[in-house]
Each structure stands twice: as structure tokens, then as C-alpha cells.
A and B are shown apart, each in its own frame.
Chain A
Amino acid sequence: MKGYAGKITRVNLTSGQVLEEPLEEPFARKYLGGNGFAARGLIDTVPPGADPLGPDNAFIVCAGPLTGTLAHGSGRAGIVTRSPLTGFFMDSYFGGEFGARLKQSGRDMIVVTGRSPEPVVLFCDGDQVRILSAGKLWGKTTRRTQDLLREELGPGLSTVCCGPAGEAQVPLACCIGGRRAAGRGGTGAVMGSKNLKAICVRGFGDIRVADMKGLLRFYRETKGRFLGLENLVKLGTPFLVDMINKAGGLGTRNWQEETWEGAELIRAERILQDHFVRNWGCFACNLGGCTRVVRTTQRPGVLTEGPEYETLFALGSNCGVNDLNAIIEADRLCDDYGIDTISFGGSVGFAMECFEKGLLTEKDTGGLEFRFGNAETLVRCVRLVAEREGFGDFLARGVRAMAAEIGGEALKFACHIKGLEPPGHSARALKCMGVGYAVSPRGGSHHDSRPAPEYQMDLAQRRSTEGKAAMAYDTATWSAVGDCLIVCRFCEPVYGGVLTQTHADLVNLTVGWDMTLEELTEVGCRVHTLERFFNCREGLRRRHETLPYRFMHEEIPSGTSKGFRTSPGELDRMLDEYYELRGWDPDGVPTRETLDRFGLSDLDLEALKVG
């Protein structure tokens, strides 16, 4: 079996025990890699009801069969765990080169359980696995941590770590690998809860593939398919600010509006003109790199990688902040402290609306003025959240927990789905995204069902719910496979925006199988169902699959998508359709037949009865 590294490493930090087992071919073919391996691993490892921040939760790092090869956009790795923010399944991916180095060290997946009595670093150095003291790294930023590790352990190191926010178990904390973030769902807090400061990998091994000649031909023939994405290379994801604002779906001031008068000031062309330093690309990015290193205009100025579209939305339009210097600085601070910019911006935006409506006062905020557009507050809050200092401790809990405590009117504008603050894709202006958020295993994430197809539609098509559940179904199956292979979403032009034979061909050339599109589609459905089962075991039912009150009851007040909302009735119909397509019962639980059909007969439906 080619393509894979061929080994899974299990580490229990409570006992210090390390187990390494070979990757078996039937398992690999059934679950494919990345997300699939980890979803199965999580279900088999984490007991139902385990505290996400307790020793029983697992922290999984994984790669896919294409990782480490030249396959377009395959330089990513995944982190999978039970989220402290949602309480449900969470998978979050990050670019850079960690995934390739993990594979070169000889591993497809590392499963960490338990809790170390003291701060440690897990070091997978070729065949060796060592648990090292992290005493002097504790409290350090993600960047300093990686610098110190490189000094100490030498060259060839690839690291993923948490920052001070993760150490403080802030549910908005992310993991940082290199300069890239596995942002969503509080993965950094899980690291912190295990007293695990970092995972380092080093390896110089080969990635062998089944048909090298065939693959090289494939790369050559498909390289040209990136033509048409010049904007993405030139401007990066920030080009979406303008596009989505014009479509009337740019969440503004905690989603009170979806068109923003300030968009002009933070659009991609301005970043290029005033802040651009250089382009940067992930390992094996055949697109030519969509990321930019930028700098604030003061000198010497603050450098950061990004800010990506989602950050420009979350820290920009969602907080009404139109000052690019402040956004760049806050983005860098979020990376250094290890905080998810989307959830952070969602939380600050929510607090700002509470403040403006008198539900929070300066007494609550420790004198900070939480008005929309206040860039200084935004920047100052990053450290406060990371260190849980003063009002930061309240912000650090995320929108759902803050709203529950404030209560009343605040619950109506608490924008989260299953506890996860949504990114900058509208659940009102895009109906597929609406139902997609509702059914997403992660909650408010645009990486299960996808927003991309709807941006191409005219207003009438966008307003309609017709076919949107099916679109949510197709794109979620596609993204499930994409996360098993762990390929970048921007490779849609090469592989297709839904599953295609190209995906299967690539797997076959790499691994040496004879997978059909049908078999690959089945893998996607199987993995999505696994995630579903995990969530159902934690009590997830239809009643949780809802949208924020604002998205269902308040119409978008202005702009291109004026009058749009996704009403409870529309959502209900789309949920019915979606569940039926998936083979789940009306309460959203997979049926016995569905589990059997996808080869998941061993999953015990009885275990779900308590939910």
C-alpha cells in the first residue's frame, strides 16, 4: 500500500505510554485518511460524555494519503478532537508543511490522550518518540515557542503548538503550526488541558507512490487548470471582501447588516497597495501561493501572515473596524497568543452590540468602550482573552456562554451555531449555507457544506430553498473526502467542486487501488455519518440544528440581499430533505440501515438512547 506512511502513534500522557501500530490496508481503504482516520479514532478512543478538557478526550493530528506528495494543495494537516466550544466533533486544518513532515517521520496519525502532570512537548523524531519537559516554553507565544524548540532540537523540525490562550484553556484557542492556524473549535485549549505545549515531528523518509509516471503526467496536465485563479494569487482571499459585500452577505456589526460602508477601506487592493510584503505558499501549493505577508504602515511596523478574508470579516466588518493597521496587529496577536480570529471577532462583535444596547456597561468591561468601530478595544482584547484577565475572562467563553449569562434580549442576537461563531458567509443570503451551518458537525463552519456555489447564483436562485439541501449534501460529502485526503479547498478547479472521478484517479495513482467514484462517495458519506454518530452520542438532535434567532427572524435590512432571511419554516423543510438524503431519521439520528449500508454496523444505536 503506497502513499501512506504506514503507522499510527498513540501516546497516553498520563502514563507516558507510547504505542505504535501499523496502518492496516482495510482500515485505510474504508476511512481513507485524515478526517476519516481521526473520526474513527475519536469514536473508538473517547468515551461518551468525556469532558473535552479532561484526560479522556483525544487530541489527534493527522495527514492524508496524498500528503507529502506533489498533489495540488496537499500540504495540509488536520487536528481532530471533541471541542470545548461546541461539545461536539471538531476537525480543523492548517497549511504549511507539518503534514508532509509528519508523513516523512513515518506516521499518518498521532492520537494523544491523558493529561501530563507537567508541561511537555511530544517529539516524534523519526522512529523515536520522546516526551520532553516544556517547562521553559510554558507561557511563551506560538512563535517564540517554535524558535526555542528549533534552537534546542535542531533543524528539520516541524511544530504545532498552542499559545498562552491554549494554556489557559480558553475555548477560543487555536493551534499554530509554523505561521498557520488550525483555528476553529478550541483545539488549542485541548492541548493546554493535556499540558501539551507542542508536538514536534522530524523525518527525512520517502513518500512512495504506486504510479509515479502517471502522477507526474497528472500534475503536468492539470497544472493549467489553475488559470482563472489569478485573483486568488494576486490578492489572496481578501478579494472576497469586495465580492461578498457586493453580494450583500458580509456580516457587519454582529450581523445587524450584511453590507458594509467600510469595506472599501479594507479591500484587497488596499492591502496590496499599502501593506503587502510578499507572497507565501504552503507545501505543494501548485497554485503559486495565496497567502501574503503584510506589514502595518508604522515603522518598523508589525508583520503578520494574512489577514485572510475570514479575519477581515471577523475583526473588520463584524466589529465595524475599518482600520487595517489595527486588524493586522490584532491578527498577529491572535496568532502569537493562539486565538481563533473568527470566534474572537464573533465574540467581540457580540459584546459590542450588548454594550451599545446597554446590556453591558463600562462597569462590566473594566472601563473598555465596546463600541463598534473601536479599533483600540479590539487590539487590547486579544491579550485580555488569552490571559483571561478582567473582562477578557468573560469574552473568552465565546458567544453562546456569554449570551446565556446575559440572557434576555442578548439571546436574540447571539450569532453562533452549536456554540461555534460563524465565519463570513451569510446564512440568510445563502440558503445552502444556512442549512449547511445547521447540520454541520462543527457548527458554524463553512467547511462542511460550502458557500461557493451560491455566490455564482442570481438573486432569485439564491432566495429559493429549492435544491439547497441537496447542494449542502453534495458539498458536505465532497468536503468530507477533501478532509480525508486533506487537500486545499482552492484546488476545486483541478479536482472539482463536487466529487469527481479525478479525486478517485488521484487516490488510485498514489495508493495503487482501483477505487471508483462510487466507492469514494461512499467514503465521504461514511465519514460524515461517523461524525454524526459521534455528535448524536453526545446528545445532538434536531433541536440543536438551528440558526441564530437573528438569521431566522430578522431580514437583512439593506444591500443586494435586502429582505433575505432563512425562516424557521424554510430551515425545517431543508432539514427534512437533508436528513432524508443522508438516511437519518427525522430527529437527525442515523438509522440502522444507514449505518449498515456504510459498513458501520459495529456502532451501537442503543448508546444513543440517553440523548
Chain B
Amino acid sequence: MRYISFDPDRCVGCQACQLVCSAVWQGVFNPFKARLRVEQKDWYGVFEVSVCRQHRDAPCAEACPTGALYADEKRGLVAFDRKKCDGCGLCVEACPEKAIFTHGDEPWIFKCHLCGGGKIQQCVEACPRQALAVEEDMV
């Protein structure tokens, strides 16, 4: 599986990744509707990212009672089928990366899908510091 990797030493917290994610996939600017989060826990500390690790044995898919989340071997990612989602939120709890998000405006979840599994990942492209990259997991 491929996933978005993060280099905390490069990130400066500009949130361009979140902005471009919400812009491309939701059509609005709203970092809280992005499929990843970058946050700083301490005043002068490093930034940390929360983004889907695309685990093949995805705990979120296991927790999902409707089959809306599933490992998509062909595209190499954990896919989300919005039509099947009933908004129960069990996946949010199950995710070890805390990388599944909700927003009061929408009944379903926000989770990284590697921009559909295509060649270009918008957040990676937008990052002015090359803090984000796509990596391949051989396991």
C-alpha cells in the first residue's frame, strides 16, 4: 500500500496541505474538512500529522459495520464508499492514527484516499517545504 509520509523537521505548520485538500475535494477552503491534520501540541514544539497510514489490515474497515471502508488492493489504499456510510463513527474510534475526521456540516467522514490513488497527491504537491511525500509499504 502507498501512504502519505511526513517529516516533522520540514513542516512549518502553514496548513497549505489541509487547505488544498478541502479545496480540491470539498470545493471550499476549510482546514477542518481536510483529510489530514497538522497540529502543534506545544508552544514551540514540532508539528505532528494525522493522516491515514492505509493499513492493509485496516482497523477502520474491521470496525465498519456497513462495509463502507475496505482495503482496495487494486488502487493500493483503504477506500471509502460514501454511499454505504451511515455516519456511526466507529471507524473514528478504531483508527490508531486518529486520522479519520468528522465535521458538523457532513454526515460522513473525511479520510485520506490518496487523491483517488492517482499519480498526483494534492497535499504533497502543495507543501512548500516538501514535508509530505508518498511512500510505498512493501509489507
Which A residues contact B (CB, under 8 angstroms)? 68-70, 75, 97, 100, 104, 143, 156, 179, 204-209, 212, 215-216, 219-220, 223, 226, 277-289, 291, 293, 303, 305
Contacts and interface: CB of A to CB of B under 8 A. Distances in A.
Contacts, number: 91
A216 B128 contact: no
B16 interface: yes
A603 B29 CA distance: 38
Contacts of B27: 212
Given A212-B27, A281-B13, A281-B128, 5 more contacts: A70-B20, A220-B125, A286-B128, A288-B128, A305-B44
7 contacts: A207-B28, A208-B28, A216-B20, A216-B24, A278-B9, A280-B13, A286-B14
B33 interface: yes
Given A68-B29, A204-B30, A204-B103, A288 B44 contact: no
A289 B29 contact: no
B128 A223 contact: yes
Given A204-B103, A288-B128, A289-B12, A70 B23 contact: yes
Interface of B is mostly: loop
Interface residues of B, number: 28
B46 interface: yes
B23 A212 contact: yes
Interface of B: 9, 12-16, 19-20, 23-24, 26-33, 43-44, 46, 103-105, 125-126, 128-129
A70 B26 CA distance: 14
Given A204-B103, A285-B12, A285-B14, A104 B128 contact: no
Contacts of B9: 278
Given A69-B19, A143-B43, A293-B44, A281 B28 contact: no
A219 B125 CA distance: 11
Contact of B29 (A179, A207, A281, A285): A207
A215 B103 CA distance: 24
B16 A284 contact: yes
B129 A288 contact: yes
Contacts of A70: 16, 19-20, 23, 29, 126
Nearest to B29: A207
A219 B128 CA distance: 11
Nearest to A510: B29
Contacts of A291: 12
A488 to B, nearest CB: 11
Nearest to A207: B29
A418 to B, nearest CB: 35
A220 B44 CA distance: 30
A206 B33 contact: yes
Contact of B44 (A206, A209, A219, A277): A277
A216 B16 contact: no
B104 to A, nearest CB: 7
Nearest to A286: B128
A281 B12 contact: yes
Nearest to B9: A278
Nearest to A209: B29
A289 B20 contact: no
A55 to B, nearest CB: 34
A287 B13 CA distance: 12
B102 to A, nearest CB: 11
